[in-house]
């Protein structure tokens, strides 16, 4: 397993700073819920996962608002610190051998039921990250960037930044934005094709490890329900902006010692 002691490349360092440290091609009008273009590497779908390293790692980065509140900061400050940490952990994950790093950044309910000022912050910090950090992150790792969810409908301002991101690569960083897994399953069930191939996430391999930070042992908005069927689940206590490389390394070490039987 690749050591995680080496952080992101110097070119990414500024974009990956947390708020705490800082304070000291898809056509427009397309309604598809995914930027996937139908050319995922076949190894994602067919090869068995390495016994020691998760092939597909999914993250629910919970705790941004609590982290901000503890420091007397605004929710937007918390989300800014949170998206910065996404870059840090994604970089470490793909360097360690993970092929697909998926992260959730909001459900339709989050974007329609929270205070407008917070929703604006959730979207704006993500847009800045997509423009200023994600391109270098993908290029440094040889990764493609995908987005899945109703983002075109609920946060269309993200579209230009998303269009500019790499669409080819042997590895992938997948953003779930304005995504609800129950909507994905309902739509697939209504389709005329085979159910599984109708899923928005049909091209992705099953999730091997799900990490939800913040200590809450629960799911939200049906996140990746279908792909989580055989997953290992972890609910570490640190709030997401405080989830360090050391914490992540401990999660990978724990996963490496787990025997996965897949019904055998």
Kindly report, residue by residue over 188-222, the tens digit of the pLDDT. Answer: 999 767 899 999 999 999 999 999 999 988 888 89
Confidence of residue 2 (pLDDT cuts 50, 70, 90): very low
- Give 24's Cβ-side CA count (13 Å radius): 5
Structure tokens at 259: 């025997």
- Residue spans per domain, the chain: 57-256
Q: With a cut of 70, say whether residue 176 has pLDDT above it.
A: yes
Contact at 8 Å (CB) between 198 and 188?
yes
Domain 57-256 = CATH 3.40.50.2300: no
* Pairwise CA distance, residues 217 & 115, whole Å: 25
- Determine the pLDDT at residue 219: 84
Kindly report, residue by residue over 81-136, the tens digit of the pLDDT. Answer: 999 999 999 999 999 999 999 999 999 999 999 999 999 999 999 999 999 999 99
Residues 64-88, mean pLDDT to the nearest whole number:
97
Q: With a cut of 70, say whether residue 26 has pLDDT above it.
A: no
- Determine the pLDDT at residue 35: 62
Confidence of residue 258 (pLDDT cuts 50, 70, 90): confident
- Determine the pLDDT at residue 192: 66
- The residues that are catalytic are 62, 110
What is the pTM assigned to this prediction? Answer: 0.83
Confidence of residue 3 (pLDDT cuts 50, 70, 90): very low
- Determine the pLDDT at residue 17: 41
Of all residues in the chain, the percent with pLDDT exceeding 70 is: 80
Task: Sort strands 171-177 and 100-106 into parallel, antiparallel or unpaired.
Answer: parallel
* Pairwise CA distance, residues 198 & 240, whole Å: 32
């Amino acid at each position: 397993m690749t050591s995680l002691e080496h952080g992101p490349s110097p070119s990414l360092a500024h974009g990956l700073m947390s708020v705490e440290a800082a304070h000291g091609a898809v056509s427009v009008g397309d309604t598809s819920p995914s930027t996937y273009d139908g050319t995922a590497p076949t190894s994602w779908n067919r090869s068995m996962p390495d016994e020691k390293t998760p092939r597909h790692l999914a993250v629910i980065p919970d705790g941004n608002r609590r982290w901000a509140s503890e420091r007397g900061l605004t929710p937007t400050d918390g989300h800014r610190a949170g998206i910065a940490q996404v870059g840090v952990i994604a970089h470490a994950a793909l360097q360690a051998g993970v092929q697909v790093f998926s992260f959730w950044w909001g459900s339709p309910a989050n974007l329609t039921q929270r205070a407008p000022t917070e929703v604006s912050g959730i979207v704006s910090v993500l847009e800045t990250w997509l423009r200023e950090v994600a391109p270098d992150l993908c290029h440094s790792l040889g990764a493609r960037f995908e987005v899945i969810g109703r983002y075109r409908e609920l946060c269309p301002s993200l579209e230009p930044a998303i269009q500019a991101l790499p669409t080819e690569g042997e590895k992938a960083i997948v953003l779930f934005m304005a995504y609800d897994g129950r909507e994905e399953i309902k739509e697939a069930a209504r389709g005329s094709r085979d159910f599984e191939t109708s899923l928005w996430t049909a091209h992705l391999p099953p999730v091997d490890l799900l990490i939800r930070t913040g200590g809450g042992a629960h799911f939200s908005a049906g996140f990746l329900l279908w792909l989580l069927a055989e997953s290992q689940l972890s609910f570490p206590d640190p709030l997401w902006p405080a989830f360090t490389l050391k914490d992540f390394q401990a999660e990978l070490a724990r996963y490496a010692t787990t025997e996965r039987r897949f019904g055998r």
